[in-house]
Structure 1
Amino acid sequence: MTAKYLVTGASGHLGQHVIHHLLETSGVAASDIIAASRKPEQLASLAEKGVQVRRVDFDDPASMDAAFVEAEKVLIISTDTLDRPGHRLVQHRAAIAAAEKAGVKHLLYTSMPEPANSPLLFAPDHEGTETEIRASAIPAWTILRNNWYFENVMISAGPALASGHWYSAAGDGGIAHIARDDIARATAAALVAAASDKKVYTLTGSSSYTHRDIAAAVSKTAGREITVIDVPVEGLVQGMVGAGLPEPVARVFASIDTMVGIGGLATITGDFKALTGAEPQPFEAWVESQAATFKAMTA
């Protein structure tokens, strides 16, 4: 029987890239791919290519029962429900249970580096999901602990280029970011790989960069100087609240700096190359490719 690859969150950025690599890099037939999303109406272009489109909502067990039928390999892309503490773990548990019920042979999940005992406020969602996967009866699973995307730099770069200041509570901690498309490429490779075991991969770039390193690279490309200003975590929180963010959300973002500061995102691995046979895209090359966007942020 031909394997069916199901990708949840298929209307999101990562899901779209994973499906692209299944089709174009791994050469999977469109008819063997199931794109599942809460918003299936956004997947018309995939349906036109012959990809099966199904509605799936992790808050609706019946939708998962229907979506997971005939799927031998399922990729659970972690949901973006960050405004309701603990709910994301409830959603992931429901998806794992549905996959188990459907007889899925290989389950993949997008996690984060070092989720255990992490100061990151949403790390327990990932740690708990990993625990559920390990305890399940699913024969094979792959946990992909993804480092931060290069694209996340845009969140800080906009305000920093506009003001000339980057407020950071990360100290000299580094981040071994990796391009979102590289994460997708490795994920697609893990999906199509013969899987009869249980593995954890940590997907990172080939170098680690501090906030000062990142600011310097962006400054050079944008043509505007950014000064990194060290602040305590509470100061970072209050600054974001003052800029209009709800305090719970501000504390989640500030906890990222805390994790960076203790080195939680600095580890570099060779797992991307192990899965793809290639080196990850260099951060400097990505920054240069975004020159027009960065320059527009200075206007």
Structure 2
Amino acid sequence: MSDTILVTGASGHLGGGIIRHLLDDEGVAPGRIIAVTRDVGKLTDFSDRGVSVRAGDFRDGDGLARAFAGADKVLVISGADIGQRLAQHEAAIKAAVAAGAKRIAYTSMPNPEPGNAVVFAPEHFGTEQAIKATGLPYTIFRNGWYQENLLMSLPQALSSGKWYSAAGQGRVAHAARDDMAAAIAAALASNEGESTTYTLTGPEALTTDEIAARAASTLGKPIEVIHVSDEQLAQGMKAAGVPAEYVPMLVSFDTNTRNGGIDIVTGDLETLSGRKPRPLEDFLTANRAALLG
């Protein structure tokens, strides 16, 4: 196969990881990879290896059309501008179609259909629908929560000994971001046929209490989980100095977890990458310094 693979968001953790796995694990020739980012100066490591590096911005449709030229497979990694992402993703999809892409791929989230409590779920669902409306074959990667997301909450919990959560007994199967990158790279490098949706998760779904117990056991510091309401969690975040614009989004994660919206466990990650997902304990050990401060 000689399809050209284009990856947006190539300077980000996920995009960069996917390109590294394409090169190092999947044996994709550098000349078959197009890395698109807002700031090409951040991708000299890839350009030095022979990857085609191009400037592209989801907010600039005409620029995207030029950046996507010659791409057979286009991976649209979801953008960071919450509230504006659907329009931006639609611009990327339009550019992929205009470039003559044979397949469009996208990084979505589990269960983004209406009813999901996460504030940005409609943007993911809308993007999936826009991709399907093109009539092109597609690959949708519904990425679960990263283990790295725990770096937002666990350090404070370990420091204070208290973890305030509105997730109740809801479960999350966190997975390492690099494991997801490896799985996505493997799918992009394969001879994909029919349209497919994968849900990428870790190997087991755990409650906040179970995550706290494992963190305490691995790191040697006890954590008491204090279960609160959404309103109490929001008030606590504001009191702690979390910017007001981020509070509804962060609370919605717990609401969705409590509602069972992200308790999925699949084998898709291992099936695609051929490797066992990293256990939570390995993440905790590897990030001991960052978690304990």
1:278 offset after TM fit, Å?
A: 2.6
> In 2, Cα distance between the equivalents of 1:153 and 1:214?
10
- Aligned residues: CA RMSD: 1.2
Secondary structure at 1:228 match in 2: strand
Secondary structure at 1:42 match in 2: helix
Secondary structure at 2:179 match in 1: helix
Secondary structure at 1:114 match in 2: coil
Q: How does 1:148-297 map to 2 (within 5 A)?
A: 148-295=145-292, 297=293
> In 1, Cα distance between the equivalents of 2:186 and 2:178?
12
> In 2, Cα distance between the equivalents of 1:294 and 1:126?
30
- Name 1:75's counterpart in structure 2: 75
> In 2, Cα distance between the equivalents of 1:131 and 1:269?
23
Of all paired residues, the percent bearing the same amino acid is 46
1:196 offset after TM fit, Å?
A: 2.8
Q: Deviations over 1:58-91 (max 9, x none)?
A: 1001211111111101111000112xx2x11110
Question: Which sections of structure 2, spanning at least 5 residues, go unmatched?
Answer: none
- Name 1:130's counterpart in structure 2: 128
TM-score normalised per structure 2: 0.96
Aligned residues: 292
> In 1, Cα distance between the equivalents of 2:95 and 2:65?
6
Task: Say if 1:34 and 1:54, in contact at 8 Å, map to a contact too.
Answer: yes
> In 2, Cα distance between the equivalents of 1:199 and 1:176?
21
- Name 2:22's counterpart in structure 1: 22
Question: Which sections of structure 1, spanning at least 5 residues, go unmatched?
Answer: none
TM-score normalised per structure 1: 0.95
Secondary structure at 2:11 match in 1: coil
Task: Say if 2:142 and 2:199, in contact at 8 Å, map to a contact too.
Answer: yes
Task: Say if 2:215 and 2:281, in contact at 8 Å, map to a contact too.
Answer: no
1:191 offset after TM fit, Å?
A: 0.6
Task: Say if 1:218 and 1:294, in contact at 8 Å, map to a contact too.
Answer: no
> In 1, Cα distance between the equivalents of 2:184 and 2:167?
29
Q: Deviations over 1:275-299 (max 9, x none)?
A: 123321222222222223323x2xx
Q: Tell me the amino acid that sits aligned with residue 135 of structure 2.
A: A
After superposing the two structures, state which structure 1 stretch, 106-115 or 275-284, moved more.
275-284
- Name 2:40's counterpart in structure 1: 40
After the TM superposition, which parts of structure 1 deviate over 4 Å for at least 4 consecutive aligned residues?
Answer: none
1:128 offset after TM fit, Å?
A: 0.4
Task: Say if 1:166 and 1:228, in contact at 8 Å, map to a contact too.
Answer: yes
1:115 offset after TM fit, Å?
A: 0.4
1:44 offset after TM fit, Å?
A: 0.9
> In 1, Cα distance between the equivalents of 2:240 and 2:205?
29
Secondary structure at 1:35 match in 2: strand
1:274 offset after TM fit, Å?
A: 2.2
Task: Say if 1:109 and 1:144, in contact at 8 Å, map to a contact too.
Answer: yes
2:115 is aligned with 1:121: no
Task: Say if 1:221 and 1:291, in contact at 8 Å, map to a contact too.
Answer: no
> In 2, Cα distance between the equivalents of 1:230 and 1:224?
19
> In 2, Cα distance between the equivalents of 1:178 and 1:99?
29
Q: Deviations over 1:184-214 (max 9, x none)?
A: 0010011111123211000111101111111
Secondary structure at 2:272 match in 1: helix
